[in-house]
Chains A and B, each alone.
Chain A
Amino acid sequence: MLRYILHRLAVLIPMLFGVSVVVFLMLRLGRGDPALDYLRLSQIPPTDAALLDARHLLGLDRPLLEQYGVWLGKAFQLDFGISYVTRRPVLDEILYYLPATLELAGVALILTLAVSVPLGVWAALNREGLPDHIVRGIAFTGVSVPNFWLGFLLVLCFSVWLGWLPPLGRGGIERLVMPAVTVSLMSLAINARLLRASMLEVAGQRHVLYARLRGLPERQVIGRHVFHNALLPVVTAVGMHIGELIGGTLVVENIFGWPGLGRFAVAAIYSRDYPVLQCFTLLMTGIFVLCNLAVDILYAWLDPRIRVAAVENAA
């Protein structure tokens, strides 16, 4: 098993290298000029001389290969350069804003699981009954509503009309509720439906029938034999949801003035802050890969069949 994990971690290195090359080239092959954005933000008229000076300041006057080489060399020492806009070290900025994003995504994940699991179970136990229809309605709405729109609706309702919750900023659970709900609704909806379908599928299998024939109490049949087995696909989905939730914070942080990495990255996109975007993409790649690895390990732990296959593959 350890060998399998090490194998997966080793794959991460060439993957990050590949991503860094692609992102580096994609940013620079576009038409835009970060020096022009720098001057715009500085409110300096973009004369040719000013542009030359700005390009020199930002290190954009060197050949592309040299720029990449310098960046890569420093990146190995965890120096991802200086932000074009804030003029601070990129890694310092990203690590500064990351906890707020992880807090939001983490709470959203907990919310997703805490709500979707009971909903899915409730719907499965009452198939075609009223609860099933209610959950179906929630799921349908959750998948259809874009999160930025939901965010504004929540603010309008709970901040402007009712005055119950503050509309923006970080600090205190009251400022966390609306962003977390907004980020999690879609994952929550998908998860509830998935668990319902998975429960129904497992419930139709023979081992459940035999469990009932053995005279086990219904509570135990559902809890141990249906629910446990039905969780497998949900675990896979949660791996995906973590990425989705972090991606969702990009938009939601801007709506709720949440001082996290998403808002910082969106600002960097608008101002072509290449060093920030490069580091951000690498970090996100790392998080996605590690989350998926964690899910795979969890999966293997839950299901011995997968464990055996994974070890054989790695060998």
Chain B
Amino acid sequence: MRLLSRFCMVATVVAAVSAWSTGAPAADRTVTFSWAGNVGQLNPHMYSPNQMFAQDMVYESLVRYVAGGRIEPWLAKSWDISPDGKVYTFHLRDDVVFSDGQPFNAEAVKRNIDAVLANRTRHAWLELIAQIDAVDILDPFAVRLTLKGPYYPVLQELALIRPLRFLSPAAIPESGSTVDGIKAPIGTGPWKLVETKRGEYDLFAVNERYWGPKPKIERVLVKVIPDPNTRAIAFETGEIDLIFGIEGQISPDTFARFAAQKRYTTGISESMGTRSLALNSYRGATREVDVRRAVNHAIDKDAIVANILYGIQPKADTLFARNFPYADIGLQAYVHDPAMAARLLDAAGWTLAPGATVRMKKGELLRLEFCFVGSDAQEKAMAEVIQANLAKVGIDVILLGEEKNSFYARQRGGSFDMIFSNTWGAPYDPHSFVSSMRVPSHADYQAQRGLPMKADIDRKIADVLVSVDETKRQALYKDILTILHEQAVYVPISYVTSIMVHGPKLANVGFGATKHEMPFNALTLN
């Protein structure tokens, strides 16, 4: 019994010690949000582990991407473009300071862009970085960007969250390069990162020196919660105030459960990208356009949207939603019509022998390998529905659920018949996404590789990116998207959306134009 009392004593001491350590800070005008990990050092010019939503809170760009793909002035109040499309002159706002009090001016712009250019290989995925030839200071508030050749999406890519946003010159290391880190995360944006506790939270406070309308709340506390179920429980128990963002924050069925409860406000954004399947035109039966069209007709997207996505994402009929630039071109959807799919397959010589369940042609079974991320419950459920849909028209689908790394290796190498392949979403769609179709390490290139007109598509993509004539650009995009649609190399499934859930404490929670924009600037507390 003496032993027992000792145990009790030790337990009490341990409990007292743990009670002593305090929890995360909280204040009245603080909004609590959650993210899967810490936001990182917040180097505006670098990638992982820096989180894009947080980089967007702290740093700003010369121009801003708004809904519908339009570009608005931001840190640059206006700009001129030379007739040949190679020289951009930006006139900067003169009332902007960094949160450390340093002025934002042409010098700061040049030092930041030079820091990015010093590390070109890391940014090679972004065409603009390869295109920039020189950055010159014209006067304290005017900067000239000279390109090696004309490239129309300059403004779209300047608006991206990384790598072309601006760090206070005082926070740039003496070497002038930011590749190995920065001194402190100091930007011009409405928020400052004030505290990070690894594995627990990041705390943002309003930047008192912000040049634009200041946020109505004082602080944003971002708790680290990697698991979607834990996040849902944290929300229900008041540990966090807001669930916001694209897929993965919570599961669609949890969202549907919250939406059914009157005490919560829920919302779904406009389309922010497309979830689609890529069909390999270079391999197996999907080499034939009729087989690809038959697959398009056989899949019941309405059922997928209603039963797996709980209506959170609308059905997709084309590779890009109509609210994207150059995408509203009146393409005819492949409607769900199994009979039509069967006729197409019959006409292509893939016939069903009496009593057989799988079609054959010249002794070969109509069998397709369908790759997805095995641990992704949603993709798995969709893959099973699609397998059942295709079985009805005599196509045998082998499901290959693998872990992410293998899945991406298949996308890169083209070892698939069908594979999930999402577009990049705003602001990358359509130009960056279309541009990537020319690069062999993308699923899109692999899927299109067998098309007889692939060289022609690639030429048109190259043309559209350097075209400075808006009408010509529209015509080229129409051509590219029409060919891809008619060749049925994609099966668009749904348009990806952002979701939000909050309680009565918050108001004015709105969606931004891209999936990484958070609603903290306009949000108010009731």
Contact = CB atoms under 8 A, between A and B. Distances in A.
B7 A113 contact: yes
Given A113-B7, A160-B233, A255-B227, A86 B404 contact: no
A136 B226 CA distance: 37
B408 A46 contact: yes
B440 A254 contact: no
B234 interface: yes
Nearest to B403: A32
Contacts of B442: 45, 47
A309 to B, nearest CB: 26
A107 B18 contact: yes
A167 B237 contact: yes
Report the contact-size class of chain A (Cβ under 8 Å from the partner): 35 or more
B230 A255 contact: yes
A110 B14 contact: yes
Report the contact-size class of chain B (Cβ under 8 Å from the partner): 35 or more
Interface stretch (A19-27, A168-176, A197-205): A168-176
Interface string A152-172: 100110011001001111111
Contact of B441 (A43, A48, A111, A118): A48
B199 A167 contact: no
B264 interface: no
Contact of B224 (A159, A175, A257): A257
Given A41-B48, A117-B7, A49 B233 contact: no
A73 B11 CA distance: 42
B29 interface: no
A174 B374 CA distance: 37
B450 interface: no
Contact of A172 (B19, B40, B225): B19
A274 B63 CA distance: 39
Contacts of B19: 172-173
Contacts, number: 158
Contact of A87 (B14, B16, B49, B436): B49
Contacts of B199: 96-97, 100, 259-260, 263-264
Contact of A117 (B4, B41, B223, B229): B4
A214 interface: no
A150 interface: no
Given A103-B18, A175-B23, A263-B199, A168 B233 contact: yes
Nearest to A258: B199
A260 B198 CA distance: 10
B8 interface: yes
Contacts of B405: 31-33, 36-37, 272
A152 B229 contact: yes
Contacts of A167: 230, 233-234, 237, 239
A188 to B, nearest CB: 13
Given A48-B440, A255-B229, A263-B226, 18 more contacts: A36-B412, A41-B48, A42-B48, A46-B408, A47-B125, A53-B124, A87-B49, A107-B11, A107-B15, A113-B7, A117-B3, A160-B236, A167-B234, A169-B239, A172-B18, A176-B15, A257-B234, A267-B226
19 contacts: A33-B405, A36-B409, A37-B404, A41-B48, A43-B47, A43-B52, A47-B124, A48-B440, A85-B48, A85-B49, A107-B18, A159-B233, A159-B237, A166-B239, A168-B230, A169-B200, A172-B18, A256-B230, A263-B226
Interface of A: 31-33, 36-38, 40-51, 53, 85-87, 93, 96-97, 100, 103, 106-107, 110-111, 113-114, 117-118, 152, 155-156, 159-160, 163, 166-173, 175-176, 223, 254-257, 259-260, 263-264, 267, 270, 272
